[in-house]
Amino acid sequence: MPATIYDFTSESVSEGHPDKVADRISDAIVDLHLARDPEARVAVETLVTTNKVVLAGETRCAAAVNPDEMVEAARRVIRDIGYDQEGFSWRTADVDVLVHGQSVEIAQGVDEGEGKPEGAGDQGIMFGFATDETESLMPAPIAFSHAIVGALAKARHEGQQHELEPDAKSQVTLRYEDGRPVRADSVVVSTQHKDGFSQAQMREIVRPYVLEVLPEGWMCEEDDFYVNPTGKFVIGGPDGDTGLTGRKIIVDTYGGAAPHGGGAFSGKDPTKVDRSAAYAARYLAKNVVAAGLAKRCLIQLSYAIGIAHPLSVYVDFAGTGEADEDAVAKTLREVMDLTPRGIRMHLGLNRPIYERTATYGHFGRKPEADGGFSWEKTDLADELKRAF
């Protein structure tokens, strides 16, 4: 029998974490191209280290984006995050652009042709997940982890905590009873800070932001509240550790509460099903839960390069469903066109809306007026209710 009492842990990282700096720069390059050409193709990776940024990848755009514009986009991202330190600064970092045109062999397999619909940009499997344990229909451990580092970043940007620097990580362990979270068993926060502050001082600076995020009465015991466990965190960001695009895929999704297909999102335009189909799977799972068809919903989609329609649609309610899973899977194919073009049209993905996704998770966010986070809408819920 499954355990009825257990602990589950998820982590998040701030916008200043080296890998997230890389993700955000890559997505800024995606937005730069989509703003010029909604049908642009982009696959750009970023490496960041001590005062160095390297962009590498392939693009295709009707209105060319030159290397100087990519350099400027990278510097603007670094400035917006808040890095102007000796070891990593938006002013002085050396930025290399190693970006070339898209492979013609990839293009011919993906592009629409006479009698041929647009195919998927690669093979792969993508997962979407939703659970009713939080208002955002996200797992609580990752939702709280995101909120803690987000609150610290907000305080830093607004000048409320001058001691804080951009790099930070959080980790929340929740106790579950009968499948529902009931309290925090431990909380870990590591945050970069200006020199001259002790571990004890940083603990008290961080504490109110954790208390603000957790429900009342959920705070862990004092011995299980860890802040900067190594004692000091002054050297951080890309100066302290190299960052690469796509190394925080569990942070980007469900904190380990659901499977992951393995493909990263950032740096990829929405023709890449690693990104768009994962968004579609989350959208469908969220609508299934919002419709009351299940308390938990996991959806898997699979694709083959050059083939338009998904090879499979799998639905799992983990024993919490009010409808037949196979019937729901069939209905989902009917209510949404799951071809790469169909997903992009349904969710309005051919827009410069991706830089904002690079920090604090791609899921569990509020839909925005310009089309950002459209995959978080629950506009299919009524249709799914009627179908079942």
Instruction: Flag whether 23 is in a domain.
Output: no
**Domain edge (last residue) among 210, 237, 264:** 237
Average pLDDT, the chain: 95
Q: Give exposure, 152-191, as e/b (b: 16+ Cβ within 10 Å).
A: bbebbeeeebebbbbbbbbbbbbbbeebebebbbbbbbbb
Instruction: Calculate mean pLDDT across residues 77-102.
Output: 96
Annotated binding site: 17, 19, 45, 58, 102, 167-169, 232-233, 241, 247-248, 264, 268, 272
Other Cβ atoms within 10 Å of 55 Cβ, number = 24
Map tokens 């200043």 to a residue: 16
Two structure tokens written together for 75: 């510097």
**Per-residue tokens: 166:** 């951009």
Residue 121 has pLDDT above 80, yes or no: no
Residues 316, 320: Cα–Cα separation, whole Å: 9
365 by Cβ neighbours in 10 Å (0-12 / 13-18 / 19+) ranks as middle
Give yes or no: residues 196 and 218 share one domain.
Answer: yes
128 and 146 part of one domain: no
Establish if 151 belongs to a structural domain. yes
Q: Which residues is 120 bridged to in the sheet?
A: 305
Do 194 and 284 belong together in one domain?
Answer: no
Bind-site residues for ATP = 17, 167-169, 232-233, 241, 247-248, 264, 268
Q: What is the pLDDT of residue 102?
A: 77
Mean local confidence (pLDDT), 280-288 = 98
Choose the final residue of a domain: 190, 210, 237.
237
- In a domain, residue 29? The reply is no
Same domain assignment for residues 219 and 145:
yes
Determine the pLDDT at residue 1. 47
Annotated binding site for Mg(2+): 19
Q: Say whether both 284 and 379 belong to one domain.
A: yes
- Over residues 77-90, mean pLDDT: 97
Q: What pLDDT, on the 0 to 100 scale, is given for residue 123?
A: 87
How much of the chain, in percent, has pLDDT values that exceed 70? Answer: 96
Q: Does residue 148 share a domain with residue 128?
A: no
- At CA 286, angle to CA 326 and CA 298, rounded to 5? 45
pLDDT at position 112 over 70: no
287 and 352 share one domain: yes
Residues tagged in the binding site annotation for K(+):
45
Residue 85 lies in a domain: no
Residues 297 and 363 in one domain: yes
Domain end residue (candidates: 193, 212, 237): 237
Together in a domain, 146 and 128: no
Q: In this structure, is residue 76 part of a structural domain?
A: no
> Do the strands 41-49 and 52-60 form a parallel or antiparallel pair, or are they unpaired?
antiparallel
So what's the pLDDT on residue 284? 98
CATH code, 216: 3.30.300.10
Closest CA to 128 of 120, 136, 138: 138
Enter the tokens of residue 197: 């502050």
Given a cut of 80, is residue 107 above it in pLDDT?
no
Question: Is the residue at 284 inside a domain?
Answer: yes
Same domain, 278 and 323: yes
Domain that holds residue 168: 5-13+140-237
> In angstroms, rounded to a whole number, what is the distance separating the alpha carbons of residues 256 and 172?
12
pLDDT (tens digit, 9 = 90+) per residue, 37-56? Answer: 999 999 999 999 999 999 99
**CB neighbourhood size of 207 (10 A):** 15
AA letter at 259: P
pLDDT at 310 over 60: yes
Task: For residues 231 and 280, state if they share a domain.
Answer: no
Measured at the CA of 169, the angle between CA 138 and CA 25, to 5 degrees, comes to 85
Both 292 and 356 in one domain: the answer is: yes
- Any idea which of 62-66, 104-108, 189-193, 377-381 has the lowest mean pLDDT? 104-108
The domain tally of the chain equals 2
Instruction: Name residues whose C-beta falls within 8 Å of residue 369's C-beta, 6 or more positions apart in sequence.
Output: none
**Residue 329 domain flag:** yes
91, part of any domain? no
Q: What is the pLDDT of residue 104?
A: 62
Q: How far apart are CA 150 and CA 140, in angstroms?
A: 15
